[in-house]
Structure 1
Amino acid sequence: LPDQSFVTLATNDSYVKGALVLGSSLQRYRTTRKLTALITPQVSDLMRRVLEKVFDEVILVNVLDSGDSAHLALMKRPELGVTLTKLHCWELTQFSKCVFMDADTMVLSNIDELFEREELSAAPDPGWPDCFNSGVFVYRPSIETYSQLLQFATEKGSFDGADQGLLNTFFSSWATTDMSKHLPFIYNLSSTSVYSYLPAFKAFGASTKVVHFLGSTKPWNYTYDSRTKSIKGNMDDPKIVHPEFLNMWWDTYIADVLPLLEQHGIVKEITTGVNMLSGLVYTLAFSCGFCREAEVTEAVSHVSVSPVLPTESSEKRKERWEQGQADYMGVDSFDNIKKKLDTYLQ
């Protein structure tokens, strides 16, 4: 339907990878709805062009622009930058109804039936089920609702410093009023949760329709071994609770997203680099005279490099900082800044 859309948000080039997998998974399961991506200025022009291959509309949102509708709210609540960006989804009044999905989600089947639900429909949060998780929700775009949300954000803020706290307080009747607005958990299953009710997961987990990669480590942060078709790393890592979901994400990335990145020249250099490195490994191995060809071939097959996205110059990055456009979700995150400071202090 042309007047209904799935909507997501990408705040930097890394999250674009997530958005591309989400969009590709929606297409794979033949959604009949439009696909819309909101992006911030931190997304490079090259990655924006790739998004335009998957999404029907790619819309730039810059809350730091004085002409932006959320700019005044940001001045009063600077900690809500990403949240105020996400609220722009209510401005998409060219659509009568939308389903918002975070860029770290992926669909495992067609979920167009969600458009039969009303605002605000969402699934319980695994950490506090009386709150909904704002990674997937059904809503009706409305300038009136958008204005009310902005005013609410300015006056009340958010109890968790993010959009989930704000939206749960604004739509406070969700927990008690209308059960038809409670989406089944299979529409927003956290891939990182250790479910205390394991029999239920075993009984219903196979019916999962949407998987949500919550937590600081996202699927694109892992390295994928295309030979074994699985992620590399320690499977005992407590963060990797359901490796099958991670492998599904990477399967979609390799099949649908990587070819698009290669078409735009984003990963071509990486492939060439791996081939050169493989050649060097062969040369060094055979020059020692002790290695058998089969052993070398096996070792080289494990050489892999995660696609590296275009990096901006230090001058460009400094300019973004001066404009207040630090990439808080990516290279300029608190953890990265702390690591940099630690290297100076050691």
Structure 2
Amino acid sequence: MSRVFASPEGLSPSSPVAARHAFVTLVTNSEYALGARALLRSIRLTRTPADIVVLHTGAVSASDLEPLTEFDCRLIETELLPLSDAFNARHQRRNVHEQAPFTKGRKPGFHSPLDNFCKIRLWQLVEYERCVFIDADALVLHNIDKLFSYPEFAAAPNVYENLSDFHRMNSGVFVAEPSVATFEKMLAALDAPDAFWPRTDQTFLQSFFPDWHGLPVTMNMLQYVWFNLPQLWDWRSIGVLHYQYEKPWEKDHPRADALRPLIDLWHAYLTGDRIPDIAALANPAHAGPTSP
């Protein structure tokens, strides 16, 4: 049965809550609206009873959001966070990319650092006991409802190049417990004097939750693992596939040849046509251990 809650300041939901838990994503432009279509289909195919919530900024048009309604999601329009002018200036795309350039992959032109901080609005969704956030450039490959039993704050390590990456988290998937008090504390810490978060929400969340709980890498499998660490890749165990850096819908994709099987899989979820048996997919080839 649907439950009615007062809408927190800065949020405008399209429909009432219908479950105790929710998968949440963020759409800030037409590109991520396209990504969300594949993500939402993938979540619905797991037959989860949880709500699906799409936080979206005013920059997303009604026509871009309309295809998402097919998946019975709650659309919640969100204002940008009430941050200082100095904070906003420091975190403009040009400033972030110049001061903390991406050297391992290419961020697309529609990447907007300031928009990323809207993820923090998730803590205002107090109608839910627990939420699992998933970036719109991801797919859920099997039921992951067990994540709702994980504590706050839980995220997977940012592993995509080598095992030294385990000390950093990736905020593309995380488990959180909504709370107005936590949200207010986060806003104060986020906009502290001279604060600069080079990887935007990811750097901030790791700072705010220094004792974060580790999810398995399979709950946020980053696409570069496919060619950098193929020995970690096992289709049968991957819960969430995350297309970090280049996006599978980009036409000008410098890694397209190396990531072709992953790109083809994303397009199958986008259209719903010929989605394969995930467990039957071939893992990337790699040199295994030599026999003694």
**TM-score past 0.5 threshold:** yes
For the 8 Å contact 1:186–1:205, the answer to whether it is kept is no
Q: 1:196 to 1:218 in 2, by over 3 A?
A: closer
Q: Specify the alignment match of 2:248 in structure 1.
A: 219
Aligned-partner SS, 1:137? strand
CA apart distance, 1:15: 0.5
Counterparts of 1:196-215 in structure 2, within 5 Å, are: 196-201=228-233, 204-215=234-245
Q: Specify the alignment match of 1:166 in structure 2.
A: 204
CA apart distance, 1:62: 1.9
CA apart distance, 1:20: 1.4
Counterparts of 1:1-346 in structure 2, within 5 Å, are: 2-63=19-80, 70-71=81-82, 73-78=83-88, 79=91, 81-126=114-159, 128-155=165-192, 157-174=195-212, 181-193=213-225, 196-201=228-233, 204-215=234-245, 217-222=246-251, 238=255, 240-255=257-272
For the 8 Å contact 1:15–1:104, the answer to whether it is kept is yes
Gaps of 5+ in 1: 64-69, 175-180, 224-232, 257-346
Give the residue type in structure 1 aligned to 2:248.
Answer: P
Q: RMSD of the TM alignment (CA)?
A: 2.1
Q: 1:157 to 1:185 in 2, by over 3 A?
A: same
Q: 1:219 to 1:136 in 2, by over 3 A?
A: same
Greater alpha carbon shift after TM alignment, 122-131 vs 21-30: 122-131
Which structure has the larger Rg over C-alpha atoms? 1
Taking structure 2 as the reference length, what is the TM-score of the superposition? 0.72
Task: Find the aligned partners of 1:134 and 1:21 in 2 and give their Cα distance.
Answer: 19
Q: 1:158 to 1:135 in 2, by over 3 A?
A: farther
Task: Find the aligned partners of 1:197 and 1:219 in 2 and give their Cα distance.
Answer: 20
Task: Find the aligned partners of 2:155 and 2:173 in 1 and give their Cα distance.
Answer: 6
For the 8 Å contact 2:147–2:175, the answer to whether it is kept is yes
Task: Find the aligned partners of 1:122 and 1:192 in 2 and give their Cα distance.
Answer: 18
Q: 1:57 to 1:12 in 2, by over 3 A?
A: same
Q: 1:33 to 1:240 in 2, by over 3 A?
A: farther
Task: Find the aligned partners of 2:259 and 2:149 in 1 and give their Cα distance.
Answer: 30
Identity %, equivalent residues: 29
Describe the superposition over 1:194-247 as per-residue Cα deviations: whole angstroms up to 9, x where unpaired. 55544333xx354211100000x2112149xxxxxxxxx8xxx54553322211
Aligned-partner SS, 1:36? strand
Aligned length in residues: 228
Task: Find the aligned partners of 1:161 and 1:190 in 2 and give their Cα distance.
Answer: 16
Task: Find the aligned partners of 1:59 and 1:4 in 2 and give their Cα distance.
Answer: 16
